[in-house]
Chains A and B, each alone.
Chain A
Amino acid sequence: MSDPNRRTAVPHFGGRGSGKGSGRKKASVTRIARNTEFPLRAATTPKGQTPLPANVGSNYETDWARRFPARVARRVARDTLGRAIVHYYARPTIKGVDRLSELRGPAVFAANHQSHADTAVMVTSIPEPWCNRLVVGAAADYFFGNRFSSAISALFVGAIPIERTSVNRRNIDQAVALLRSGWSLVIYPEGGRSRDGWGQQFRPGAAYLAKQAGVPVVPVHIRGTFDILRKGRAWPKRARSVVNFGRPLDFADDDNNRRFTRRLQAAVEGLADETATGNWFAARRRLHSADSPGLEGPSASAWRRRWTLTEPAPASGADPPGDAAASKRRWPYV
């Protein structure tokens, strides 16, 4: 039995004899790692004992990332490298900031979600003062899967874990507490990235937060990021994007979560229409007559949904919705 209390050649700390003449196997990183014992590696949970909840996923503590040093580091990273990278890949056009002129205090920024690039675009597009006290609701199972990605997400994005697959009161309570204490929140009510470029039905999380924290929800539409870093792609490519901020929505006395979520989704659809057509007034009229083109696209087969998405934009002064290639159909080379 090894003695970890000897002051020299302590096997627990990886010490192993080696050398050609010794007759022992040569030390290797793998062997040392395999032979390393507690406390240099975690101890196995004994049979019959329930392991403590790991500090990852929805249990990850992000308080440290909102303290002064981390806030400064995040702001510096955002205003230097972050903006440069976003500008290089996404070249965002920011619209509708004037609609936030009446907004005081924290808010929930609720946007459609097409790609991981959305968060980078959002944190560099949200104006002051909200961008300086901003947290981002991020999928607990994806961004907080291990301690390294958790720390990176919390430090550089200001992410907080949000459980996607189940209701987690702790996460929700934390988000409400942050909103009440003056932090704004970016959330994607669709609950995940688009699979094919079309949006998904909004879930009522944003409405619940708005009601519990008593803060308004700012509808935001993001266009073009699907082409930058769509689901399944590992490396971004350059494309143009548009971020359109809508008028903040307050949770009215006669609202309930479902009704407010419908209002929020309609507002984002109206912003999408406005961005696509470039005609604010026409888009508003379609919005009021509940005639805005939906985010979710036609219920048809996958190729037809994609086909519809790549139809050329209307000619009436619309902004280019994505890069030039995205607005044209591309035929396979035969």
Chain B
Amino acid sequence: MTARKGLVLEVDRTTPPIVFHHGEGLRLEKLPVGSRVVYPNEPLDAVRDPEREIASALANPLGDCEPLAALMRPGMKLTIAFDDISLPLPPMAAPDIRGRIIEQVLDMAAAAGVDDVHLIAALALHRRMTEAELRHAVGDRVYDAFAPHGQLYNFDAEDPDALTHLGTTEAGEEVEISTRAVESDLLVYVNINLVSMDGGHKSVATGLSSYTALRHHHNVHTMRHSTSFMDPEHSELHTRNWRQGRLLAKAGVKVFQIETTLNNDTFPSPYGFLQRREWEMSPKDRLMLVGTKTALDVMSRRQARRIFSGIRAPYGLTSVQAGEVEAVHRVTLENVYRQHLVRVEGQTDVLTMGLPYLCPYNVNSIMNPILVACLGLGYFFNLYRGKPLVRPGGVVIMTHPTPWEFHPVHHPSYIDFFEEVLADTTDPEVIEHRYEKRYAQDEWYRHLYRTSYAYHGVHPFYMWYWCAHALEHLGEVIIVGGDPAAVRRMGFRAASTLNDALEIATDVVGRDPSITHIHNPPVLMADVV
């Protein structure tokens, strides 16, 4: 069956309350008459035979590149890097597409007699993946064959012996990546392109890079000039990454890029109601909605988190392409846009969004207030092409409980960032100038990043920079249902109901604002014309 396109619904008196995500909970919100609700496209049909598609992509590479089998030879050094736990969201139901691809690549390597193979989780400054997470990503067979011999491991961006400085781009960006990747005869990168920000040169030039290289594009200036970072053609982030990627190629790093796109079939049964349009919910869906909402309202956040952490998305593979990085990524982007783009006419005064329980940096973890801001103002706000969905000086209203709660193992520097930095200022430029270097070079955070499962000391800064474009663009940010103290600490306004939030918004956008709600997830990207 052909997937139906997304739509923009104009709210009238008969429009039902809309389901809003609210962290580990749900809200039903009645939007004012005349508001718009943007619904995502339905999931595209998945390819029937992923194994055959993968084999075909490896045998028929795009761009100036030989088939993968022809690039393998005995005695060579082969490195396979793959996206980390931050992709896809939620984690996909087994078998993970990365594992399927890696098995085929390894089959070819085995046939060609390649002995020196390393597999690296390309996590940049993210936390290290646990054994269970690695097993899920690459599969037990691959894990058991390589991990015990130290040939499957997490990338360490703070290991001075394992990093190589390759030079500086014409714009002054340094390039420093994994020594193993540099010294390999072939670097195969296995990517999951969940949104249009992912992939391309960003895979290697970010995933296997150190702070020295990342700071050249993970900064306030870059983010403010990325309009948006989900639109690579208008993204300063991508421009800089591309320059670094081209320098890598010039330095002789041979990359064979494998990119995949998934449909947006995000929620498995019995949570399928979360991706239905309200008026199309069956009695069973509505029963599940009432039951789930009621149960989540009464249970503790910890219990709810455990339930949501168990969700495995039934994503279907919609395409796989391999070969030269830029040629591959062009095709990938077309496939991502095919799934995500929904045409929306005109900007809005007020943009509402229901924030779910998960963002790329709290898989199997806690969504702390900084990540709430990052998800709403970083990711959801930037899911546009053309111009932002909300007008300059407009208001964003997000629903999320925003608890003053942090995962002490995963997010130690976030705690200090929240307590120390945000208590001083919320201005990204001041934060960058005054605090970044100290956190980035802090020995304790460095130690936790390398030996525990902590995000790098500088990571909360990047999350705040991720919001920089939105913070500059917007007149006000309101969080509905959030912990007032945590919300205020970030410089936002707290409201207990959506009506209160809309009332507060009138101070900024006038008495009769236009309102648009993005019904996300499943992910959609507004093509604003």
Q: Chain A residues in contact with chain B, CB under 8 A?
A: 1-5, 7, 12-13, 37-47, 49, 51-52, 55, 147
Contact = CB atoms under 8 A, between A and B. Distances in A.
A37 B290 contact: no
A46 B12 contact: yes
Given A5-B28, A12-B28, A38-B286, A46 B279 contact: yes
A226 to B, nearest CB: 38
B96 interface: no
B7 A49 contact: yes
A49 B39 CA distance: 12
A46 B12 CA distance: 8
B97 interface: no
Nearest to B288: A39
Nearest to A55: B282
B93 interface: no
B30 interface: yes
A39 B30 contact: no
A49 B12 CA distance: 13
Per DSSP, chain B at the interface is mixed
Contacts of B27: 4-5
Interface residues of B, number: 26
B12 A43 contact: no
Interface in B277-329: 278-283, 286, 289-290, 297
5 contacts: A12-B28, A43-B281, A44-B15, A45-B279, A46-B12
B28 A43 contact: no
B499 interface: yes
B443 to A, nearest CB: 46
B16 interface: yes
B9 interface: yes
Contacts of B278: 38-39, 43
B17 interface: yes
Nearest to A47: B12
B2 interface: no
Interface string B464-499: 000000000000000001000000000000000101
Nearest to B481: A5
B269 interface: no
A5 B497 contact: yes
Contact of B286 (A42, A44, A47, A49): A42
B290 to A, nearest CB: 5
Contacts of A39: 16-17, 28, 278, 281, 286, 289-290
A13 B290 contact: yes
Nearest to B9: A46
A46 B28 contact: no
A1 B499 contact: yes
A7 B10 CA distance: 29
A203 to B, nearest CB: 29
B286 A7 contact: no
Nearest to A41: B286
Q: What are the 7 closest A-B residue pairs judged by CB atoms, nearest first?
A: A43-B16, A38-B16, A43-B279, A4-B28, A39-B286, A44-B14, A39-B289
